[in-house]
Structure 1
Amino acid sequence: MVSTTLRKIVSPCWRPSVENEGQNSGRGDDLGCRVDGLWWYKDLGQHVHGKFSMAVIQANNVLEDYSQVESGPMSLEALGPQGTFVGIYDGHAGPEASRFISDYLFDNIKRYTSENQGMSADVVNKAYLATEEEFLSVVEKQWLIRPQMASVGSCCLVGIICSGVLYIANAGDSRAVLGRMDRSLKEVQAVQLSTEHNASLSSVRDELRSSHLDDPQIVVLKHKVWRVKGLIQVSRSIGDAYLKKTEFNREPLLPKFRLPEPFQKPILKAEPSILVQKLNPEDQFLIFASDGLWENLSNQEAVDIVTTCPRNGIARKLVKAALCEAAKKREMRYSDLKKIDRGVRRHFHDDITVIVVYLDYPLISRNSFREPVISVRGGGDANT
């Protein structure tokens, strides 16, 4: 789907293939990226506004999560804005959509920033929708030979720091949490920044029902879990063409994805919920993570870990804390969970991706940048 040449250009820190698991990741060695069994991680790096840490743990047979940190130019113009871009792409039914987003979303952000002569919520929204249309075009082209592509999708969480302003965009159920110093309490408080789109939330079910008044089965409680059309928990995503365009909800798509009646308008949406706010000196760090982390840790628990532990390896520390909680829920030890291989591991926890971005306010508030451009990609399988 993406040429080998293109991947070499855009992926300086890609996870190796499953056959090479346990070995370090080629060019990634130079960037401090490592693979160890089911782990992929970069313990500490420098972005234009401070330090960052990344970690991924695999649970599925094929890792469906992709992620990235891009720091430097936020547009195609030589004198355009500088900043930091963070992306968490939690795929489902396969890695193709999350990989595609990793390859194209940031480029679309830069293109629209150039066209609009600056970063804005509108730029981010346009980039999401352009990436969606590009992926659906791939689905259409491969429909007869790979119809299962119509069932592949991905949640998409993005954070952008540009000109002292923070943009958080989300489609799906990944989450961004800010650690903010409360001067009166003298402690760092958790502030959730992203809006989630999961049918388990009553507000999401209400939104779906109000936008699909003619469909009493738009959300269905199935095995004690609320699902859109009884099929999927998230109400927004990139991909999932089978719930966006009725022409993809038919043979030769697998029967389990097909609805009995054609639909008149998209069931799922790709538009993100977007928050825009200025950063201030009290803002200490940001935690971006797929829902696998938040199923096991509360916002404040995650913030407390980042506040009290060293920066080096902090993303791995958060993932391990979540794994310990997952093991405890199943009345087992973390040491026993570590012995469970991918695939079977999915019965105990999801793929988990975490990126922690520290905020150095003097760097955020200045107008010039001298740090080198960085591009770090995490997760996935280089040979798929």
Structure 2
Amino acid sequence: MSLSVAVCNSPVFAPSSSLFCNKASNIFPAHETLTLSRSHINPPSASAASPTSPFCLRLLKPPAKLGSGSDSVPGACNRHSPPVSVLKRKRPTRIDIPVASAGIVAPVSVNEETPGEESGEMERDGDGFSVYCKRGRKEAMEDRFSAITNLRNDPNQAIFGVYDGHGGSRAAEFAAKNLCNNIIKEIVSERNESKIEEAVKRGYLATDSEFLKENDVKGGSCCVTALISDGNLVVANAGDCRAVLSVGGFAEALTSDHRPSRDDERNRIENSGGYVDTFHSVWRIQGSLAVSRGIGDAHLKQWVISEPETKVRRINPHHEFLILASDGLWDKVSNQEAVDIARPFCIGTNHKQKPLLACKKLVDLSVSRGSLDDISVMIIPLSRFI
């Protein structure tokens, strides 16, 4: 919902897992599948706290300064536990979520070296899209993105996605490799074109089900996808990755963030037996996760559903470009600000438009305003698909 940092107001609560560089399976021979890759580094070790405990995140709160003769730490999960040496460490106990290598997903060919890995940045000018990713304070990137263009040998058909992992990068990586292809499969098998929203929904649910069958499943991922087919723009999301459309220079949000603070989401969670509370002014499910929909999150699956919300728009000349981004951008930059900054780089009679520069401008603005999260920004000029 990659790139994000383990801070109290972020849905991320663990370092990321390893990154791979593989092509998604070919559904259509002519399409291009784009994923990201990164070399491995040695992550820090973690302690043995359980990631499934609804209260374990409180261990991230720094302990109060110990006075003489003090043998307990205010804010610990068990206030009556006997004194142990770990409570006297200068740093709080870490949650035990397995970690591996760090990296950035990039739309490159299999086994191709990805430039810019050491700096934690990645950029790409693709066929009908541009994307820029910047790693946050954490040493491992958890964001991913994907792009499949030239669907059915038609340059006016494509599908794009941005994925923001939490609790590691495995779910975001899995979604980047499989979600768009699963959506395409469902659309191909759906003969009734008026039910395209149902086909997209089945694609999300299938991806979630497949991921949960993986061995040693950890973490989850927010997702936003944009399908362009037969002059239609079909946008779907699960989590707080967001899609914003520029309509003649005015920003129109095509998605609504799925967070426990939303009345309908909180009611759904509570009606299914869960609870929502605040920690450091952030609403969380079971005292843990700050997003209410996404792929993965097996230990919270009863409440964190993968069903997306979907909107369909018929593309017209007033629809200038689409921004897909993780919450690393949207937590610091408003929808209209993003459109105002990107627009001069994306429209006009100048054929040397530079939407990639717009992606970088947006990322830099978020960082300048204090974002410590991973940030991924993808811009899709829609005139290319009319």
Q: Normalising by structure 2, report the TM-score.
A: 0.68
**Bigger relative contact order, structure 1 or 2 (CA pairs below 8 A, ≥6 apart):** 1
Whether 2:373 is the aligned partner of 1:297: answer no
Deviation at 1:89, TM superposition (A): 0.8
| Structure-1 separation of matches of 2:343 and 2:291 | 31
* Equivalence for 1:106: 180
Whether 2:255 is the aligned partner of 1:194: answer yes
The 8 Å contact of residues 36 and 107 in structure 2, kept in 1 or not, is answered as yes
The 8 Å contact of residues 35 and 41 in structure 1, kept in 2 or not, is answered as no
Residue 356 of structure 1, aligned match among 353, 369, 379: 379
Which residues of 2 match residues 34-73 of structure 1 at below 5 A?
35=117, 37-42=119-124, 44-47=125-128, 52-59=129-136, 60-73=138-151
* Equivalence for 1:84: 158
Residue type at the aligned position of 1:271: E
Residue 275 of structure 1, aligned match among 295, 304, 311: 311
| Structure-1 separation of matches of 2:262 and 2:191 | 37
The 8 Å contact of residues 83 and 163 in structure 1, kept in 2 or not, is answered as yes
Residue type at the aligned position of 1:273: E
| Structure-2 separation of matches of 1:358 and 1:352 | 20
The CA RMSD measured in Å over matched residues stands at 3.3
Deviations 1:323-360 (A, max 9, x none): 1111xxxxxxxxxxxxxxxxxxxxx5111111011111
* Equivalence for 2:48: none
SS in 2 for 1:14: strand
- Structure with greater helix percent: 1
| Structure-2 separation of matches of 1:238 and 1:350 | 19
Residue type at the aligned position of 2:288: L
The 8 Å contact of residues 356 and 379 in structure 2, kept in 1 or not, is answered as no
Residue type at the aligned position of 1:197: H
Residue type at the aligned position of 1:37: S
Residue type at the aligned position of 2:368: C
SS in 1 for 2:210: helix
Residue 165 of structure 1, aligned match among 222, 232, 254: 232
Whether 2:205 is the aligned partner of 1:129: answer yes
Deviations 1:193-252 (A, max 9, x none): 10210123344324433x33xx4x6111222221111111111111001112xxxxxxxx
| Structure-1 separation of matches of 2:367 and 2:120 | 13
The 8 Å contact of residues 172 and 221 in structure 2, kept in 1 or not, is answered as yes
Whether 2:366 is the aligned partner of 1:318: answer no
Which runs of no fewer than 5 residues in structure 2 stay unpaired? 1-16, 27-32, 42-101, 346-353
* Equivalence for 1:155: 222
Deviation at 1:7, TM superposition (A): 4.5
Deviations 1:140-197 (A, max 9, x none): xx2xxx4xx2x4100011111111111110100111101111xxxxxx1111110210
User: Number of residues paired by the alignment?
Assistant: 292
| Structure-1 separation of matches of 2:286 and 2:143 | 24
The 8 Å contact of residues 36 and 144 in structure 2, kept in 1 or not, is answered as no
Residue type at the aligned position of 1:15: S
* Equivalence for 2:275: 218
The 8 Å contact of residues 24 and 178 in structure 2, kept in 1 or not, is answered as no
The 8 Å contact of residues 21 and 37 in structure 1, kept in 2 or not, is answered as no
SS in 1 for 2:259: coil
Which runs of no fewer than 5 residues in structure 1 stay unpaired? 182-187, 245-265, 327-347, 366-384
Regions of 4+ moved over 2 Å? 1-16, 18-22, 24-36, 44-47, 78-82, 200-209, 308-313
Residue type at the aligned position of 1:121: E
Identity within the alignment, %: 32
The 8 Å contact of residues 237 and 310 in structure 2, kept in 1 or not, is answered as yes
Residue type at the aligned position of 2:381: Y
